[in-house]
Every structure is written in structure tokens, then in C-alpha cells.
Amino acid sequence: MALVMTATESANTQNEQKKAVARAAVGVLRSGMHLGLGSGSTSQEFIRLLGEKMQSGALRVDGIATSVESENLARQCGIPLIEPERGLKLDLAVDGADEIGPGLSLIKGGGGAHLREKVIARAARYFLVIADASKVVPRLGRFPLPLEVVPFSLPWVMDEVAGLGCKPVQRMSKNSAQPYKTDQQNFIVDCHFGQIVDAEKLARQLQQIPGIVEHGLFLGYAKAALVANDGRVAAMLPDGRSKPVEELSELP
């Protein structure tokens, strides 16, 4: 029996895990909720499954998307969309992550959507992360930290963040030699730190640099993370405990 997984087997496992956590997240929803709809492949699974459940008539919710891509998918799936509005509090935001570190500290923005993702996470009473097991890390930083940067400020932002100990790389579009542009028409700089020793301190330093619209560190945002491993989905909590998804009693 082969003990080492091939790349294809590992990708299949990861996809199965994404579907499993998306299914589990749909399972905690209740009719009438206003939702935040995340971005990335795991969130797309969530949006698809949510659409199916709504089409079956078993659930009635509306949502606000964290990216144009998710908004288009939600529309295709028949999920009613709402707009940002004063006084609006979302019941629950569900989103993926690129890394989940201690205390449910996160790196997000692999898809370039972390600005809207953070806005939506903050506008929600409960921020629920959904992820495959590969995202859980003992320390953040192996995944390059994305920054959304105003184009005019790019050279100086790169100089400043290099001074914080990373290798900054401007993200390029997948299909062209053009710089990648966010939904807000800003640039993304991916900061290769290798490891982030003090995430709180780094977040404060990044917030002080003019031209950085938002960084991809989400500290103190996630209330729980549904993570799939060995065919089971468990809810990880900020204090390091795990519990069965059904026992997430503090959900709105």
C-alpha cells in the first residue's frame, strides 16, 4: 500500500475537505439571516451549496458578497444580494483563509479580496472561517502576507515593508504581464516573511504606512473555524479548544 499521497490525491482530499466544511457551514444557517459571503474556492463551495438549499425551499437568507466574483456566483445561484447600509449588522460572515494560526489569527487575501473580506467580517456579529486542514499552521507567515496598496504609493510601500524584514513582490495577473488589480482598482503586494514572529506588532506597523489600504492579517476577528480532517469537521475556537459543529452554541 502506498503511504505517500500523490499531488492529485492530495488535491482531491483538499477539495473533499473544502466541500465538507462548506456543507457544515450551510448546516448552521437559519432562515432570515443576513450573511457575509466570502471569496476563494472554499467560499465558492459554500455559496453553491447555499444556493442549492435555497432552491429546495429549505432555507431563506440574503447576503452581501466580499468580491465581484462571489457576487456573480451568488447571483447565479439565486441568493438575494443586499448592499452596505448604515446600521446594517450581518448575522454571520462565512469565509475561507490562507493560514489559520494560534488564537485563530489568520492570513487572508490570497484571492486579493481581503479588504472587503475584513469590512464584512467586522460588520458581522459572528465571523466563521471554513478551511481544509492544510491551512492550519503553528505560526503565520509561510503564506506571503497580501497588502492592498494604492498604485501611487507602491514604490515607497515596497521600500517600507522590505524594512520590516520581508521580500515584497507585486502580484501580477495570472493571464497577462499586467499588474493584478483588486475590485477597488488597487495593487496587491505579497510580503514573503517566512514566519511572522509578532503578528500584532506587524499589524500595527503596517497600519502606519500611508498607501496600504488594508493588510491580510485578521487578528481577533474569527469566532470559530470549521476545519476538516480525517473525514470529520470540527470547530476550532480562539482559545485552542475544538468542539463538534453542533455544539457551537454561541452562533447567532
User: Where in the sequence numbering do the catalytic residues fall?
Assistant: 117
Question: What would the grid cell of residue 187 be?
Answer: 495593487
How many Cα atoms within 13 Å fall on the side-chain side of residue 185? 1
Answer for the pair 162, 128: CB distance below 8 angstroms, yes or no. Answer: no
| Residue of the chain from 29, 64, 113, 191 that contacts ligand A5P (CB under 6 A) | 113
| 17 versus 156: smaller Cβ distance to ligand A5P | 17
| 51 versus 109: smaller Cβ distance to ligand A5P | 109
Residue 112 binds ligand A5P (CB under 6 A): yes
**For residue 211, what are the CA distances in angstroms to 101, 127, 207?**
27, 27, 9
Nearest in space to 50 (alpha carbons), one of 68, 31, 40, 66? 31
DSSP for residue 81? B
Residue 95 binds ligand A5P (CB under 6 A): yes
Question: Which range in 50-58, 92-100, 155-163, 168-176 contacts ligand A5P by CB under 6 A?
Answer: 92-100
**For residue 188, what are the CA distances in angstroms to 73, 143, 157, 233?**
23, 14, 11, 32
Residue 39 binds ligand A5P (CB under 6 A): yes
| 56 versus 175: smaller Cβ distance to ligand A5P | 175
Question: Which range in 106-114, 185-193, 231-239, 240-248 contacts ligand A5P by CB under 6 A?
Answer: 106-114
Q: Which residues bind ligand A5P (CB under 6 A)?
A: 38-43, 95-98, 108-114, 117
